[in-house]
A and B are shown apart, each in its own frame.
Chain A
Amino acid sequence: MFGEYSLGELTSIFVMQGFAGLILFSVFLLMALGLAIIFGQMGVINMAHGEFMILGAYVTWMCSTFFHGYLPALVPIYFFIAMILAFLVSGALGVAVEWLMIRRLYKRPLDTLLATWGLSLILQQFYRSVFGPREVGVELPQWMLGSLPVTDVIEIQINGLFVMALTTIITIAVAVMMYRSRWGMQVRAVVQNRVMAGAVGINTEKVDRYTFGIGCGIAGIAGSAFTMIGSTGPTAGQLYIVDTFLVVVFGGAASLAGTIASAFTISQAQSIMEFFLSGSIAKVLTLLAVVGILMLRPQGLFVLKVRR
């Protein structure tokens, strides 16, 4: 298929394709981070993860409408405010959900799956009733649109760069929180031995609640960022859920490094196959490969071998 193109053209395309792979990687990672915290650290299956993302997207849309209508001067920076608000709103909803629902179900992971599925249905209908069944369009500030021309052919998408930067920052923040902060220590302590952690004075309920809240908050940020590249509608959250879970599970739930590696592997595989094959087939092959590997390595790519 490449016979008719010059070497220069091919090189440029491969550079851009590599960049496309990186964007996909960032997107996958951003989707999966919140879930990796919730599922990996707490063992909770949050089927409403996509709906928390969409909540962030709706918050962003509301900000966009508000700033364009009332504070046009601040439009160039509204996106940052929107992301912070998205984090807070989704996080707050997460904390409430944990308090009302999840905390009673820690011993029954499969049941949390069903309960959060119910939650996702309720949230979808809520969005439909409040924001209407149609998709809403988020108007981005001018500087986030378009691309930077590097050569004649190679162009780097600004929103792609933005997503990559955001993903990097959030990943580092999560890593620092998990492995350097007191809170992270407490979370890991609770994960490993709930009773003991309680006994040494850790408020396990509070740790659970905020862990869940932070996971949901990150989902909100992801949703906010995805308004740049995807759609915002009541059912848009469902588009992400299978991919997200596969990334987390494939990475071997418990480790951040695993999630990163898995997002990287899946995104590269998909992006490369999409280039050489048709979109549909690429998707099927990627999913099949992930499922196949999970069957061979049920604990995911990265997991510590321990005495059971």
Chain B
Amino acid sequence: MAAMPFAGLAMPRTAFAQAPATSAVNTTGLAVTDTDVTVGILHSVTGTMAISETGSVQAEKLAIEQINAEGGVLGRKIKFIQEDGGSDWPTFAEKAKKLLVNDKCAAVMGCWTSASRKAVLPVFEQYNGMLYYPTFYEGLEQSKNVIYTGQEATQQILAGLDWVAKEKGAKTFYLLGSDYIWPRTSNKIARKHIENVLKTKVVGEEYFPLGHTQFNSVINKIKLTKPDVIYAIIVGGSNVAFYKQLKAAGIDLNKQTLMTISVTEDEIDGIGGENIAGAYACMKYFQSLDNANNKQFVSAFKKMWGDKTVIGDVTQAAYLGPWLWKLTVEKAGSFDIDKVAEASAGVEFKQAPEGYVKIHPNHHLWSKTRVGRARPDGQYDVIYETAELMEPDPFPKGYQ
């Protein structure tokens, strides 16, 4: 029943000259040998979440291959064991336990939904593992055993709202979301900011069951209330239905401001660029980002996974995981989880495609927030970015 580790791709042997002794860098019995170190990749490749998580798996594999090509971590080549969470939270917990207890993985890159992270979190805390979690999420969490490489809600939301209020003079907002924790929490934060900070008004707030495909009624309500901004946090297949129906109902996103925090380039693939062109998205990364790091990253990604693949915010965040882990291990001089966890704060990754990131003591990342405008070809034009790195604040005062 043992899983078959998929060895990393061929790489120059010469790189492993000055590796420190295994006994020195691995005092807790992790899967580290003189030549290699094993990490886990834990995402859904089957079930409904496979749609979203595929990009993350691809990015993590790319990062691992690049790290290996550069000589690995502490002179050791990274091997990975991939497990399928099957879009099922208990399976995530089961597989996480397997990766930690049976395979002794030195780190795990994985999870996408909050629910899967919540399911594995006690496992990582109990068995002392290290999880690199890539998705933007609702916050309200902080763990020694997790590095959150995506943005928490305030990082993602506040700057975008400030921008839309300033640039578009927005006074009224209509909040929409899929009915689960991330959209609800995010909208809660958005509402507080809209009402208490911007001193403007929320004219409607509504949630739909996951997988909902009929949005004509709410579109009519939007037409009735004529909000300045539609603030949409709809996920999965519902997204596709929502934007197609919005367009069909004659709402032109070039005239009606719509801001979303849930539609990355990945989702546009399914929605169709022509259906969402003109919408604003607020997140930390867009594929079209113009900097040298990103150009390299995009071309490496396409070389490995094909010209047609697109890269969204979460995919980039997933790419950060293996790199941040490598940098942290090398800073700590050890694979030991405790040392890695301790050394994490302050680790900077200057080659990040999004520009530059740094791990905050609360294990989230300092990052810039950007606003992009969707183009018909499925890409975003980056039209705004915060001047400073946004500080991650998973337990924001005044927003709870």
Contacts of A135 in B (CB 8 A): 51, 237, 240, 267, 269-271
CB of B308, distance to nearest CB on chain A (Å):
10
B-contact 0/1 string along A106-134, CB 8 Å cutoff: 00000000000000000001001000111
CA of A25 to CA of B348 in the docked complex: distance in angstroms? 55
Assembly CA distance A233 to B269 (angstroms):
11
Cα–Cα distance between A213 and B179 once the two chains are bound (Å): 37
User: Scoring A residues 222 to 239 as 1 if CB is less than 8 Å from chain B, else 0, what string do you get?
Assistant: 000000111111111011
- Do B270 and A13 touch (CB < 8 A)? no
Name the residue of chain A whose CB is nearest to the CB of B248: A157
How far does the alpha carbon of A229 sit from the alpha carbon of B250 in the complex, in Å? 14
Q: Determine the distance from Cα of A236 to Cα of B238 in the docked complex, in whole angstroms.
A: 10
A278 at the interface (CB under 8 A from B): yes
Give the residues in chain B near A20, CB-CB below 8 Å: 216-217, 219-220
CA distance A283 to B209 in the complex (A): 8
The answer, yes or no, to whether B166 is at the interface (CB within 8 Å) is no
Sort chain A's interface into a size bin: 35 or more
Q: Does the CB pair A23–B241 fall under 8 Å?
A: no
**Nearest CB of chain A from residue B294's CB, rounded to whole Å:** 22
Interface flags, B248-280, vs A, CB<8A=1, else 0: 111000000000000000111111111100000
Interface pair B209/A280, CB less than 8 Å apart:
yes
Is A160 part of the binding interface, using a Cβ–Cβ cutoff of 8 Å? yes
Range of interface residues on B (Cβ < 8 Å): 35 or more
A155 touching B249, Cβ below 8 Å: yes
Q: Which residue of B lies closest to A121 (CB)?
A: B46
Kindly state whether residue A33 has any CB partner on chain B within 8 Å: no
Which chain A positions have C-beta within 8 A of B216? 19-20, 23-24, 157, 160, 271
Contact with B along A1-32 (1 / 0, CB 8 A): 00001000100010011011001100100000
| Complex: chain A residue closest to B272, CB-CB | A137
Residues on the B chain within 8 Å of A17, using CB? 217, 220
Q: Assess the A229–B51 pair: CB atoms within 8 A.
A: no
**In-complex Cβ contact of B206 among A128, A228, A270, A279 (8 A):** A279
With A135-B240, A149-B250, A235-B48 given, is the CB distance from A229 to B207 under 8 Å?
Answer: no
| CB contact between B51 and one of A158, A233, A279 (< 8 Å): that residue | A233
B102 touches A (CB below 8 Å) = no
Q: Beyond A133-B50, A235-B48, is A229–B237 a contact (Cβ under 8 Å)? A: no
Beta-carbon contact of B214 and A24 below 8 Å: yes
Among A146, A149, A235, A280, which residue has its beta carbon within 8 angstroms of that of B207?
A280
Answer yes or no: B223 CB below 8 A from chain A CBs. yes
Max chain B Cβ within 10 angstroms of own Cβ: one of A5, A146, A274: A274
Q: Is A169 an interface residue (CB 8 A)?
A: no
B239 / chain A contacts, CB cutoff of 8 Å: 231
Q: Does B213 touch A at the CB level, under 8 Å?
A: yes
Contact of A278 among B51, B206, B275 (CB under 8 A): B206
Is A147 interfacial (CB 8 A cutoff)? yes
Given the known A-B contacts A274-B218, A279-B208, A283-B212, are A137 and B237 also in contact in the complex, defined by CB atoms under 8 Å? no
Most buried by B among A5, A125, A132: A132
Provide the bound-state CA to CA distance between A282 and B223, in Å. Answer: 19
B58 nearest CB across to chain A (Å)? 11
Residues 211-237 of B, flagged 1 when their CB comes within 8 A of A and 0 if not, give 111101111110110000000000011
User: Could you say which residues of chain B place their CB within 8 Å of the CB of A274?
Assistant: 214, 217-218
Cβ-defined contact, B240 with A147, below 8 A: no
Within 8 Å by CB of B249, from A128, A147, A231, lies: A147
Least CB distance, A31 to chain B, in whole angstroms: 10
B245 within 8 A of A: yes
Across-interface contacts of A27 in B (CB, < 8 A): 214
B residues 264-319 in Cβ contact with A at 8 Å = 266-275
The answer, yes or no, to whether A275 is at the interface (CB within 8 Å) is: yes
Given the known interface contacts A24-B216, A147-B250, the answer about A230 and B240 at a Cβ–Cβ threshold of 8 Å is yes
- Closest Cβ–Cβ distance, residue A139 to chain B (whole Å): 6
Say how far B230's CB is from chain A's closest CB, in angstroms. Answer: 15
Between A and B, 9 residue pairs with Cβ closer than 8 Å are A133-B51, A134-B266, A137-B275, A158-B248, A159-B244, A230-B213, A231-B240, A275-B220, A282-B217
| B interface residue numbers (CB < 8 A to A) | 45-48, 50-51, 54, 179, 206-209, 211-214, 216-221, 223-224, 236-241, 244-245, 247-250, 266-275
